[in-house]
Amino acid sequence: MDHPVRHSDVDERHTSQSRRIVRWTGTYIALILLVFGVLIGRVVQLKLNPDPRLPKAVESSTSSRTELARRGHLLDRNGRVIATTTIGYRLFVDPKVVEDISTIASDLARLLRIDAVDIDKKIHKRIDSRYVVVANRLDDSQIDSIRDANIKGVGLEAIPIRHYPNDALAAGVVGLVGVEHTGLAGYEYLFDETLEPTHGKLTYLRDVRRQALWFDPEEYRPGSDGNDVRLSIDLVIQEIAESRLRQAVLEHNAGGARTVVIDVQTGEILAMADVLNPREGWDEFTSDPMRAKDPRLARNRCVTDPYEPGSTFKGFVWSVATEEGLADPDEILDTPDGVPHVTSKGRRIRDAFYYGKSTWRKVLIKSMNSGMAIVAERMSDQLMQSVVDRFGFGRKTYCGLPGESAGIVTSASKWSHYTQTSVAMGHEIAVTPLQMVRAFSVFARDGTIPSLRITAADPTNNEFRLEHRVLSEATVQLTRDVMRQVMTDGSGRKAQSLKYQLFGKSGTAQLPKKEGGGYHEDRYVSSFIAGAPYTNPRIVVVAIMDDPDKNFNGHYGGEISGPIARDIIDATLDYLGVPPDQPDYQGPIASAD
Amino acid sequence: MLRAGHGLILCVVSLLVIGVVMVQSAGLRIVPDRTIDIREVLLGKQAALAAMAILTLFIASRLPVNKLYQTRGWLNPIPWIVLGSMALLLVVHLPGIGKEVNGARRWIELGPIGFQPSELAKWGFIIVIAWWAARHADSMHLLRRGFLPPMILLGLACVLIATEDLGTSVLIGTVGVCMLIAAGARLWHVSLLIPVGAAGFVTAVMTSEYRINRLKAFLDPFQDPQGIGYHIIQSMSAINGGGLAGRGLGNSVQKFGYLPEDTTDFIFAIICEELGVMGAAIVVCLYAALLLGGFSIIRRLTCPFQSLLGLGVLLTIGFQALINMAVVTGMAPTKGIALPLLSAGGTGWIVTAFSIGLLVSMDRTLAREAENAKPAFANRIDAPPNATMDQLQDQSDPHPSVSLGKA
């Protein structure tokens, strides 16, 4: 405390210094406050409008984690699983973080029980990368041992794994997924968008050492599994078809075989099989290099490869000519006896067998080329072209399968007399098996042609289906009747079923040369198409033998493809629980006699 | 009656409370399976330091400041402060005594207590200069007898400090010069120093790579965002975070390892990130209130020594706050200067609280004098009682000393 005397000591000198101090203090403080103001302004500026380079210069403090969702199942029409996805683990190494790069391979080899040299090669190949995949699809014990070992720089990454529980069955049709788990081929590719899941994503804050801190509930986006697709395929029928084809190509030493089974009412493809049989020393007619790599990458030849239908095409021409009144089933045509028929333009038409004057009905039953040529000459070019068009040949079925071929049809401008008579016999035209079953189902229905479908139809869903009329019901009944006789009195005799009444038609076409045009003299495509049961048709099956070895067990469609179609029909209808309609059928015990 | 001194105490306590909370928040670590208890905050090291700082403030507010000035002979503390500061500043350079922290030898450790001689010198020189300028009030306008002697001492200390801690050196030099100007030094005398100071500053910068880097980082931090620009970019990014309102107390992201020195020199960035512009404004306003409160005391003081001492304290705190916030917001190159009463730092809080305590003490003395003077004042002007009351009320707290001076 100041002594009272001090007050009297306060002289002028001190007073003036005090005033000066106060003045300057005020000035200093005013300046500091001014800068304080600027600082607040700067804070506001940094908050609202920082240097545009700032966000880019700062490493993000958030990470996100993907929560894997499941790709949809591929199911057969009855819900059997064709393709499914599980979550598996992949092991990767970050060479930059690994403490001892020289021993990592042997450490991992010990834990995973796989070859150390392999691992070492993989790592050293991409030593500068931060992500080297060492092993895919670890099993549970491998995962446990890796987790227990907790090696720095070694990580496990969850990955989806696609399983095909039926192995090779329908492999080429189903296709497969690639490393990104997206469809690469077949149905997997076709339905990729539907099957594809939406992965969940969780964005969280992390500290500088990448440890997770917390997350904002709004930053969590749950995933959803992909939708399942129920295919029209029936695995049992598929198995029936595939095993029958495999047996057949060996029996006939054929280059390949194809079959398609459809439900005639819904247009659903029940089975679709395509077998190739590589033979030593043969100049193969078809090849599919991708199939050799992986059967799942196979080309589906039922869709992509047209073939010459031969006599199986005659039914279409026969029915239209009849419907148009150009020939009556009972009209007797001037078919030759022993010598080839000569057309008005001088083309010589050979028959396999000569029957002399025959009815129009008999022309189809006995598959007489001469009779077909006679009526073809009565038809206008346009009518013949409309036969091709009405039954859907020359254009895709648009069932959705990738790589579909439209077949090969001579254009109207190049249409000649030769074409007119050839097409009547199923030559100078190429069709896909898919087109063939669809067209033939006209005879199994009420004269309308269905759209094919590759997914299972929902019977409760009365969805719009594109169908259009090709023939009148009367003509259909007549044609089906004649083709029933093909089985009993014609080329289908060897393909008769004891259980079901079939109606069908055989065809044997020469194999076109790969180069230079023309046909091989003694190589064939032998096919047979049939529907059953005759009384109330349910299915249509086409069976095609590509390049059967003539010296094995014959080469005629009726002889070698007919039994295939018949066996598939028998087994399929039996499986579907369709009661036999053969009047003589006595049941399995009786037939065993 | 709320006096300016009470205001100062309020500001200090507020800043310390914010300091304890924010240091705790910035130092937060998320550890699985461990919850943080409020007791950790209240009974933690920072809370203890804050309590000690407040205690120190109360003790200092009871000290008779003018005794510093009036004591003579062997008990006069001024020569001891000068000698002691200089000795410590020299000794810290000796290996074995001075301890290197972050590449700079600034610390002396005595058992468990570590301190920086430059910190002591910072406060010591305020007392020394205030003492000299008050003693030589009539010769302060003279170059050789008034201005140069303290300036040479100051310069010497600055050079000694500058080798290890340029920021503090500049701070001490600036505060010293400002005090000398206020005490009566001629401006043109001071201007003579500018080339010397500038040359010294440039030498200090050019001879040290990290100072050049800091300067480069300040001029364009984005040239090397992962290197020299990292710290300032992270700081600006922290301030930017959360928008005007901030992310909310405790919600800073940058404190999780992204922003170095987040509890100490860069605490202001975390305050801006968590509490937004409002938090920053509160902090700045508390410093402003501190300065204005101090000013209101100084303008009533009649003793130049006390005024200058008060000025030195205010300038030291004000400049430190200013430099720190300028650094954090990217408006000045990085310096190792803490935010007074907020940055975690231990002894810094206590010493700062002590210095403000001295201002509070001056205010107490003034109040007591006014109390004593009241009856005398009333008698002397011989006014009717009513008029006296009016006059007293009009002129009560803000300017009693001015009235006294006029009497």
Residues A504, A509, A511, A512, CA torsion sign: negative
Q: Provide the CB-side half-sphere exposure for A493 (13 A, CA).
A: 7
Q: How many helices (H) and strands (E) does chain A have?
A: 22, 23
The reply to whether B378 falls in a domain is no
SS3 A233: coil
Write out A396-455 in H/E/C secondary structure.
CCCCCCCCCCCCEECCHHHCCHHHHHHHHCCCCEEECHHHHHHHHHHHHCCCEECCCECE
Q: Is the CB of residue A529 less than 8 Å from the CB of residue A565?
A: yes
- Mean pLDDT, residues B16-23: 92
| Domain locations in chain A as residue ranges | 64-99+128-230, 235-326+379-576
The reply to whether B402 falls in a domain is no
Flag whether residue B339 sits within 8 Å of chain A, measured between CB atoms.
no
The CATH number of the structural domain formed by A235-326+379-576 is 3.40.710.10
Q: Is the CB of residue A261 less than 8 Å from the CB of residue A269?
A: yes
Q: Provide the CB-side half-sphere exposure for A297 (13 A, CA).
A: 9
* Contact yes or no for A208 and B256 at CB 8 A: yes
The reply to whether B388 falls in a domain is no
* Contact yes or no for B304 and A14 at CB 8 A: yes
Helix then strand then coil, in percent of chain B rounded to 5, is 70, 5, 25
The reply to whether B262 falls in a domain is yes
Q: End-to-end alpha-carbon separation of chain B, Å?
A: 24
Q: What pLDDT sits at residue B323? A: 94
Q: Give ∠ CA A351-A353-A359 in degrees, rounded to 5.
A: 80
* A13 vs B137, B244, B368: nearest CB: B137
* B322 vs A14, A32, A46: nearest CB: A32
Number of domains in chain B: 1
Least confident of A379-393, A549-563, B44-58, B378-392: B378-392
CA-nearest of B57, B55, B13 to B364 is B57
Flag whether residue B322 sits within 8 Å of chain A, measured between CB atoms.
yes
Flag whether residue A24 sits within 8 Å of chain B, measured between CB atoms.
yes
Confidence of residue B143 (pLDDT cuts 50, 70, 90): confident
The reply to whether B228 falls in a domain is yes
Radius of gyration, CA atoms only, chain A: 39
For residues A482, A485, A486, A489, the Cα torsion angle rounded to the nearest 10 degrees is -140
* Contact yes or no for A208 and B257 at CB 8 A: yes
Q: Which residue of chain A comes nearest to B305, CA vs CA?
A: A18
* B240 vs A7, A50, A213: nearest CB: A50
* Contact yes or no for B307 and A61 at CB 8 A: no
Flag whether residue B402 sits within 8 Å of chain A, measured between CB atoms.
no
pTM attached to this predicted model: 0.69
- Mean pLDDT, residues B191-208: 87
More confident call, B106 vs B124: B124
- Mean pLDDT, residues B368-391: 60
The per-residue pLDDT string of chain A (593 residues; one tens digit each, 9 = 90 and over) reads 444 444 444 456 668 888 899 999 999 999 999 999 999 999 999 999 888 888 888 877 888 888 889 999 999 999 999 999 988 888 888 888 887 777 888 888 888 888 888 888 888 888 888 888 888 888 888 888 888 888 888 888 888 889 999 888 888 888 888 888 888 888 999 999 999 999 899 888 888 877 888 888 888 889 999 999 999 999 999 999 999 999 999 999 999 999 999 999 889 999 999 999 988 888 888 888 888 888 889 889 999 999 999 999 999 999 999 999 999 999 999 999 888 999 888 889 988 889 989 999 999 999 999 999 999 999 999 999 999 999 999 999 888 888 899 999 999 999 998 999 999 999 999 999 999 999 999 999 989 999 898 998 877 776 666 678 899 999 999 999 999 999 999 888 899 999 999 999 999 999 888 777 888 888 999 999 999 899 999 999 999 999 998 888 788 888 999 999 999 999 999 999 999 988 888 776 544 44
Amino acid at A100: D
Q: Is the CB of residue A309 less than 8 Å from the CB of residue A436?
A: yes
Report strand pairing: A154-163 vs A176-177. Answer: unpaired
Q: Which residue of chain B comes nearest to A28, CA vs CA?
A: B315
Q: What pLDDT sits at residue B90? A: 87
Asked if pLDDT for residue B401 goes beyond 50, the answer is no
- Mean pLDDT, residues B250-279: 91
What ipTM goes with this model?
A: 0.89
Average pLDDT, chain B: 85
- Which residues between 226 and 285 in chain B have a beta carbon less than 8 angstroms from any beta carbon of chain A? 229, 233-234, 236-237, 239-240, 243-244, 253-254, 256-258, 272, 276-277, 280-281, 284
SS3 B59: helix
The CATH number of the structural domain formed by A64-99+128-230 is 3.90.1310.10
Asked if pLDDT for residue B376 goes beyond 60, the answer is no
- Mean pLDDT, residues B346-357: 89
Confidence of residue B212 (pLDDT cuts 50, 70, 90): confident
**B110 phi, psi to nearest 5 deg:** -115, 100
More confident call, B386 vs A195: A195
Q: Give the burial string for B81-100 (b: 16+ CB within 10 Å, else e).
A: bbeebbebbeebeeeeebee
Strand partners, B361: none
- For A16, counting Cβ atoms within 10 Å of its Cβ (0-12 exposed, 13-18 middle, 19+ buried), the class is middle
The reply to whether B399 falls in a domain is no
> A37 CB contacts (<8 Å, ≥6 apart)?
none
